[in-house]
């Protein structure tokens, strides 16, 4: 082989490798894409759930804060110091009463009655503050004891001056029940104050925990939003950008491959035509015995094989644009069924036609039948003998260019051996084949034809169970309902 041929082979190998990588990278992205509306809905639901959770925590914090404010307001009204203040005021009333007992002056009596009445009124104003069970009883006993003290002080007043010690002891003895009730109220207030402090400490600790949890939730929300934004918006956009770049690179390489293929075809087909003509002339000039010689037959078959390879290569490198028409999918499957059934019968392969749901498609019927025929032949090769191939028409939903829509699904299912994992990796690679004498361009051409129709070519396979190839095409809008 000369230097020019070596360089040409290297260029062809590089083009095949790069095209294979681009083709293999497009399929998962297209099949697994999630629509932008679904991602946006999931993002909004996640934000709403976190917002409701944080609002719930904030509501709890607000209520706890309100309870603390009410408690501190009670402290500002000196609720817990009624007993102490009453005891101080009672001493003053007793002193005024003692002055009256010693002097018997009318003005001292008036002073005593005024101070006693004022203390009584003040005590009544504080009654509404004592609602707790442990405070209500002592307060009621204090009021009752104070009323009894005032009654005794008014009714037992002597007619003349009294001795200081006797008067002091009498007043002290009369006020002892009041002081005892006052001491009980002071103790009850202390207990209530201690309980208030404990509740306040618990409320503050709860507030601290709630604030910490709210802060952690905010941090978690920020992280989740970042992840959702990246996975739901940025990552798909990057994948679409990468896919677009891959498609552009692939188209550029295919364009170069098409130009190279045209040159190669021109260089090869002309000599092939001349060889075929010369072989025909040579065969015609020889006698019947020499004309049917094994060597001549082999040469003729190999020339036809080279011609077929050149045609397949040109069809892959420079496919014609499809002439789209709207037809029922059942019609195309029925034509392929009638064409292929006689060819499969000698191998005892049963070809069936199933219409799960009628569907319309917009396609080039000749190109689409070429794809289906190729898939049926591959299924037959996988079965060998005695098996079943099913042509099936159904409807479904699929993602086309990132948006979901109604789809017609033309499937070819077989009961063959399945596709091994190592073969799946290169299934759509140009010139890769597992069949003796195959060109390795059948599935590559089929994938390109389906891609030209704006559809998807996907497959499901299981070893020793069979394979299903599906041609997924968007339904025309007027038939999508």
- pLDDT tens across 218-238, in order? 777 778 777 777 776 777 777
Task: Let me know whether 124 and 243 are in one domain.
Answer: yes
What pLDDT was estimated at residue 471? Answer: 94
Tell me the C-alpha distance between 372 and 351, whole Å. 13
- Can you state the percent helix, strand and coil of the chain, rounding each to 5? 70, 10, 15
Structural domain harbouring 221: 33-259
What pLDDT was estimated at residue 183? Answer: 84
**Residue 288 domain-assigned?**
no
What pLDDT was estimated at residue 39? Answer: 64
pLDDT reading at 355 higher than 50:
yes
* Number of domains observed in the structure of the chain: 2
Q: 355 phi and psi, to 5 degrees?
A: -115, 95
Model confidence band, residue 317 (pLDDT cutoffs 50, 70, 90): low
Residue 20 near residue 251, CB atoms below 8 Å: no
Task: Let me know whether 343 and 431 are in one domain.
Answer: yes
Residues 267-292: tens digit of each pLDDT:
776 777 777 777 777 777 766 666 55
Average pLDDT over residues 316-345: 86
Average pLDDT over residues 110-125: 86
What pLDDT was estimated at residue 287? Answer: 66
Considering the chain, what percentage of its residues have pLDDT values greater than 70?
75
pLDDT reading at 118 higher than 50:
yes
Q: Which residues of 89-122 are buried (b: 16+ CB within 10 A; e: fewer)?
A: bbeebbebbbbbbeeeeeebbebbbebbeebeee
Q: Which two tokens stand for residue 286?
A: 């020889």
Can you tell me whether residue 457 is helix, strand or coil? strand
Task: Let me know whether 243 and 326 are in one domain.
Answer: no
What pLDDT was estimated at residue 360? Answer: 92
Can you tell me whether residue 396 is helix, strand or coil? strand
Model confidence band, residue 149 (pLDDT cutoffs 50, 70, 90): confident
Tell me the C-alpha distance between 442 and 449, whole Å. 11
Residue keyed to tokens 């003005």? 107
Of 33 and 415, which is predicted with more confidence?
A: 415
What pLDDT was estimated at residue 12? Answer: 42
Task: Let me know whether 94 and 216 are in one domain.
Answer: yes
Tell me the C-alpha distance between 163 and 166, whole Å. 5
Residue keyed to tokens 């000039």? 285
Consecutive H or E run containing 413: strand 403-414
What pLDDT was estimated at residue 406? Answer: 87
Average pLDDT over residues 259-267: 67
What pLDDT was estimated at residue 143? Answer: 84
pLDDT reading at 247 higher than 90:
no
DSSP for 337-372, please give it: HHHHHHHHGGGTEEEEEEESS--EEEE-HHHHHHHH
Average pLDDT, the chain: 76
Q: Residue 462: beta bridge partners?
A: 466
Task: Let me know whether 339 and 248 are in one domain.
Answer: no
**Residue 16 domain-assigned?**
no
**Residue 287 domain-assigned?**
no
pTM: predicted TM-score of the whole model, two decimal places: 0.46
Tell me the C-alpha distance between 10 and 245, whole Å. 24
Residues 79-90: tens digit of each pLDDT:
667 778 888 888
Q: Residue 479 carries which DSSP code?
A: G
Q: Residue 388 carries which DSSP code?
A: E
Show which of 238, 259, 280 is a domain's final residue: 259
**Residue 126 domain-assigned?**
yes
Model confidence band, residue 469 (pLDDT cutoffs 50, 70, 90): very high
**Residue 377 domain-assigned?**
yes
What CATH number does the domain containing 57 carry? Answer: 1.20.1330
Task: Let me know whether 357 and 225 are in one domain.
Answer: no
Task: Let me know whether 344 and 228 are in one domain.
Answer: no
Show which of 206, 238, 259 is a domain's final residue: 259
What pLDDT was estimated at residue 409? Answer: 93
Tell me the C-alpha distance between 456 and 140, whole Å. 89
The angle at the Cα of 85, spanning 79 to 90, to the nearest 5 degrees, equals: 140
pLDDT reading at 14 higher than 50:
no
Chain-centroid distance, C-alpha 81 = 60
What pLDDT was estimated at residue 13? Answer: 42
Show which of 214, 233, 259 is a domain's final residue: 259
């Amino acid at each position: 082989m000369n230097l020019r041929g070596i360089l040409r082979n290297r260029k062809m190998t590089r083009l095949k490798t790069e095209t294979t990588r681009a083709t293999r990278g497009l399929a998962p992205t297209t099949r697994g894409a999630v629509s932008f509306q679904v991602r946006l809905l999931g993002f909004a639901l996640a934000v709403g759930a976190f917002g409701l959770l944080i609002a719930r925590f904030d509501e709890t914090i607000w209520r706890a804060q309100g309870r603390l404010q009410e408690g501190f307001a009670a402290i500002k009204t000196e609720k817990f110091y009624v007993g102490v203040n009453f005891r101080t005021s009672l001493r003053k009333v007793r002193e005024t009463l003692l002055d009256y007992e010693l002097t018997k002056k009318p003005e001292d009596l008036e002073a005593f009655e005024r101070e006693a009445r004022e203390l009584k009124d003040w005590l009544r104003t504080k009654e509404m503050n004592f609602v707790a069970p442990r405070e209500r009883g002592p307060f009621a006993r204090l009021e009752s004891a104070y009323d009894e003290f005032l009654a005794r002080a008014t009714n037992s007043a002597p007619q003349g001056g009294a001795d200081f010690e006797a008067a002091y002891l009498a007043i002290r003895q009369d006020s002892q029940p009041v002081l005892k009730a006052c001491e009980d109220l002071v103790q009850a207030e202390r207990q209530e104050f201690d309980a208030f402090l404990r509740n306040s400490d618990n409320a503050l600790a709860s507030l601290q925990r709630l604030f910490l949890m709210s802060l952690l939730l905010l941090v978690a929300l920020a992280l989740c939003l970042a992840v959702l934004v990246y996975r739901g918006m940025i990552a798909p956009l990057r994948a679409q950008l990468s896919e677009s770049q891959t498609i552009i690179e692939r188209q550029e390489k295919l364009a170069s491959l098409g130009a190279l293929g045209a040159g190669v075809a021109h260089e090869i087909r002309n000599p092939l035509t001349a060889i075929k003509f010369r072989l025909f002339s040579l065969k015609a000039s020889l006698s019947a015995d020499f004309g049917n010689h094994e060597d001549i037959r082999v040469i003729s078959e190999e020339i036809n094989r080279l011609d077929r390879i050149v045609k397949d290569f040109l069809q892959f490198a420079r496919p014609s644009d499809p002439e789209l028409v709207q037809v029922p999918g059942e019609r195309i499957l029925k034509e392929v069924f009638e064409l292929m059934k006689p060819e499969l019968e000698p191998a005892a392969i049963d070809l069936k036609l199933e219409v799960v749901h009628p569907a319309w498609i917009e396609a080039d019927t000749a190109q689409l039948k070429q794809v289906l025929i190729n898939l049926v032949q591959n299924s037959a090769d996988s079965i060998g003998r005695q098996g079943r191939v099913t042509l099936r028409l159904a409807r479904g939903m699929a993602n086309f260019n990132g948006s979901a829509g109604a789809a017609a699904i033309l499937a070819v299912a077989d009961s063959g051996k399945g596709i091994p994992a190592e073969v799946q990796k290169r299934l759509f690679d140009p010139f890769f084949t597992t069949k003796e004498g195959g060109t390795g361009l059948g599935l590559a051409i089929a994938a390109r034809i389906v891609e030209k129709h704006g559809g998807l070519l996907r497959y499901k396979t299981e070893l020793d169970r069979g394979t299903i190839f599906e041609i997924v095409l968007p339904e025309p809008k007027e038939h999508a309902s």
